[in-house]
Amino acid sequence: MNQESQIWFIIVNPGAGSGKTISGWPEAERALRDLAVPYKAVFTSHKGHAKELTQTAAEAGYRRFVAVGGDGSIHEVTGGIMSYCDESGTDVSEFSFAVIPIGSGNDWIRTAGIPNDPRKAVELIAAGHFEKSDVVRVETTGGVSYMANVGGTGFDSRVCDRVNHLKERGRRSRFLYARALMRVVLGFRALEAEVICDGKTVFSGSMYSLAIGNGRYSGGGMIQVPGARMDDGTIDVTVVPVIPFSEILRDAPKLKNGRIADSKSLQFFRCKELEVRQLSADAAHSPELVEVDGEIEGALPMRVSVSGGQINVIANYQQHGIQESERG
């Protein structure tokens, strides 16, 4: 066993949380030193850099990784680990992953039961409390990516795309999501698609959106995939068909209180392999975008599957309180 495999390779995204990470990192670093956690820290300088750094470190023998930032950082580090495993044939079970949450989007940690506090998160790392987590493979027109949390297509992917464009233009405000939401609402067209779960067509027609979940939370605490578990070897799917606006207003609060599974208008599925095909894509209906962990990774068609192996994550599922009875 080489020395690198016992050291936590920490990737800090100084731009996460509108720059909040760079000011919060010293506190996390003090906690790492106080608790004698062996580590090496590096900083990202551009989009996609965390994935590159992770893959290079994995090639050098590192097997323990920490993302310091938000959900975007988690997505990139996961992608780097899985890309290395794909290319080298290494089993993902050799790897361990942790998060020190300082970013603006912290949905993955909600399911994982990680405290939204840098020092407490470091304490969890020092305690070495490991759980198993699936990694979901997503194939789109943009190639292969890997999902740690939640993704989808339709309305949500359009809003996600708009938010990301605003961020790239330097926009930073608490109203960013609301502005993007309003812009998308005004010009959104329903998506015509076919949904195939484990080889069986379960939906065909008009929909507003489709969400896929390994974790349960997205969009700052919304629960679109209420039955999702990180360790069950399946993908949870929620389809929002074209329904009257009154039904959307009725069900919207359930996204926050966890009762969306009670909706009579939405459709819920669970499978190991998922395929989504767009039924109309032409000059008037361009290929629908696909978002994975908040990042646009391509467009339909989309193939999704559980990758096969499970990665070790520093987490506390019991703390979050997901019980089998919640799965519906």
What is the reported pLDDT for 321? Answer: 47
What is the reported pLDDT for 17? Answer: 59
Please state, in angstroms and rounded to a whole number, the distance separating the CA atoms of residues 192 and 302: 14
Q: pLDDT digits over 139-154, tens only? A: 999 999 999 999 999 9
What is the reported pLDDT for 219? Answer: 83
Please state, in angstroms and rounded to a whole number, the distance separating the CA atoms of residues 102 and 93: 26
Residue 219 — φ and ψ, nearest 5°? 60, 35
Residue 175 to residues 151, 181, 325, Cα–Cα distance (Å):
22, 10, 37
Bridge partners of 42, per DSSP, are 11
Contact criterion met (CB below 8 Å) for 269 and 195: yes
Pick from 32, 14, 31: nearest CA to 23: 14
Please state, in angstroms and rounded to a whole number, the distance separating the CA atoms of residues 141 and 119: 40
What is the reported pLDDT for 15? Answer: 74
Residues of the chain with pLDDT under 50: 283, 321-328
Contact criterion met (CB below 8 Å) for 299 and 141: yes
- Angle formed at CA 60 by CA 39 and CA 130, multiple of 5 degrees: 50
Contact criterion met (CB below 8 Å) for 106 and 74: no
Residue 163 — φ and ψ, nearest 5°? -60, -45
The residue behind tokens 């908040």 is 294
Q: Could you please state the CATH topology (level 3) that the domain comprising 3-128 is classified under.
A: Rossmann fold (3.40.50)
What is the reported pLDDT for 192? Answer: 94
Pick from 238, 69, 232, 231: nearest CA to 151: 238
Eight-class DSSP state of 190:
P
Q: Give yes or no on whether 3-128 and 140-307 have one common fold.
A: no
Contacts of residue 51, Cβ cutoff 8 Å, sequence gap at least 6: 76, 77, 79, 80, 83
Q: pTM here?
A: 0.90
* Number of residues that make up the chain: 328
Please state, in angstroms and rounded to a whole number, the distance separating the CA atoms of residues 180 and 64: 37
CATH class of 140-307: mainly beta
Instruction: Quote the tokens at residue 32.
Output: 């790492």
Contacts of residue 97, Cβ cutoff 8 Å, sequence gap at least 6: 64, 65, 66, 67, 77, 78, 81, 133, 311, 312, 313, 314
For residue 301, cis peptide bond before it (omega within 30 degrees of 0): yes
- In the chain, which residue ranges form alpha helices assigned H by DSSP? 20-34, 49-59, 71-88, 108-112, 118-127, 155-168, 176-187, 245-251, 254-257, 317-320
Q: Residue ranges per domain, the chain?
A: 3-128, 140-307
What is the reported pLDDT for 324? Answer: 38
Contact criterion met (CB below 8 Å) for 149 and 214: yes
What is the reported pLDDT for 280? Answer: 75
What is the reported pLDDT for 272? Answer: 97
Burial class (CB in 10 A: 0-12, 13-18, 19+), 42: middle
Please state, in angstroms and rounded to a whole number, the distance separating the CA atoms of residues 48 and 296: 12
Please state, in angstroms and rounded to a whole number, the distance separating the CA atoms of residues 156 and 288: 11
What is the reported pLDDT for 174? Answer: 56
